[in-house]
């Protein structure tokens, strides 16, 4: 790993703040009925952020686009568990994280996150890395939408290395998997963590490519599906499937664990949870139904671009 220059924390922060602005502007324009409300917060142990939440829009039932920049003198257990060399270092973590839960069951839920970590100790080189990605969780599958999502992801990664999309796609499939259910949360996308390759400039460019491609990946899908008529049946299934989202975020999600373990702001961390959810005991989709198609055709891992 060569470093042409040390990490530029200020440049990363400026990019992330601008990314939050751009994503909020694009999604609010697509919604057309509500705007994001900002809630700035500070963290007693160091740092803070600005949470932006949209609720009861024409399209978005609940969504949040969070920026946070936290720092502290000790890395939390969730970070040092797989990187023991970080113990005893001061850290900074900054990122933008978002989840959009649309009202219409034909519009998929989406999640995206880009982040930067740096751990420093006097007399030692800083340890830093980027992470992030985005994934799509449809309730009713649409092949054209999923192909567009994955093609946009591939196009973002390819200029920085054609090996990256296949690697991050597989990583996403493996990560957003509910082991206790034996099923994927959605149709995947990109996921990467601990990324520190070639140089700071290269790694930062990759994070920007992923962050910048989220709106082009998601907005056309929202636009195409947001006016599709639906009934109580589709809405019930959407609320049932949202339960899987909750299960994943509370049981497996590393970001949730990191946020809670570092004394992050609970409201912002749990902002990703949908407003309405239902669980049914031992529910099974009707054979041959659109609901069954989600399980049979969309949730099993596939190469969408072949």
Specify binding-site residues. 97, 101, 111, 113-115, 150, 180, 263-265
Taking alpha carbons only, the member of 148, 159, 153, 144 closest to residue 171 is: 153
How many whole angstroms separate alpha carbon 181 and alpha carbon 287? Answer: 19
Handedness of CA 144, 155, 9, 257 (dihedral sign): positive
Tokens of 5: 């220059």
DSSP state of 236: H
- Whether 103 is a known active-site residue: answer no
Tokens of 77: 């257990």
Query: With contact defined as beta carbons under 8 Å apart, do 175 and 184 qualify?
Result: no
Contacts of 36 (CB under 8 A, 6+ apart): 24, 27, 28, 52, 53, 54, 63, 65
Q: 67: buried, middle or exposed (CB in 10 Å: 19+, 13-18, 0-12)?
A: buried
* Catalytic choice (111, 148, 163, 202): 111
Q: What angle do CA 31, 206, 3 make, to 5 degrees?
A: 150
Other CB atoms within a 10 A radius of the CB of residue 155 amount to 14
Tokens of 168: 């991050």
Q: What angle do CA 46, 48, 50 make, to 5 degrees?
A: 175
Q: How many residues does the chain have?
A: 306
Phi, psi of 137 (to 5 degrees): -125, 85
- Give me the residues paired with residue 53 across strands: 37, 64
Feature table: binding site for substrate: 97, 113-115, 263-265
Catalytically active residues, by annotation: 111
């Amino acid at each position: 790993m060569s470093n042409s220059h040390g990490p530029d924390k200020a440049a990363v922060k400026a990019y992330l703040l601008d990314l939050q602005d751009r994503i909020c502007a694009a999604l609010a324009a697509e919604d057309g009925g509500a705007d994001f409300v900002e809630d700035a917060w500070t963290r007693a142990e160091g740092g803070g952020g600005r949470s932006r939440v949209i609720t009861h829009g024409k399209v978005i039932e609940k969504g949040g686009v969070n920026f946070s920049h936290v720092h502290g003198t000790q890395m939390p257990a969730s970070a040092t568990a797989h990187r023991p060399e970080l113990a005893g270092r001061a850290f900074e973590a900054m990122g933008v994280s978002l989840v959009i839960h649309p009202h219409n069951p034909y519009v998929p839920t989406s999640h995206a996150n880009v982040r930067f970590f740096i751990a420093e100790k006097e007399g030692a080189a800083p340890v830093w890395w980027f992470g992030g990605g985005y994934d799509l969780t449809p309730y009713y599958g649409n092949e054209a939408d999923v192909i567009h999502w994955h093609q946009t992801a591939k196009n973002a990664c390819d200029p920085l290395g054609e090996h990256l999309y296949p690697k991050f796609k597989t990583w996403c499939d493996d990560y957003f998997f509910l082991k206790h259910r034996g099923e994927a949360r959605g149709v995947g996308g990109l996921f990467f963590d601990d990324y520190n390759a070639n140089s700071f400039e290269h790694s930062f460019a990759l994070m920007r490519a992923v962050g910048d491609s989220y709106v082009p990946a998601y907005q056309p899908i929202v636009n195409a599906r947001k006016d599709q008529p639906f009934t109580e049946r589709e809405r019930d299934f959407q609320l049932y499937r949202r339960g899987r989202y909750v299960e994943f975020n509370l049981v497996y999600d590393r970001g949730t664990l990191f946020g809670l373990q570092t004394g992050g702001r609970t409201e912002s961390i749990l902002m990703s949870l949908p407003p309405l959810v239902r669980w049914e005991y031992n529910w099974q989709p009707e054979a041959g139904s659109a609901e069954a198609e989600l399980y049979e055709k969309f949730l099993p891992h596939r190469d969408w671009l072949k």
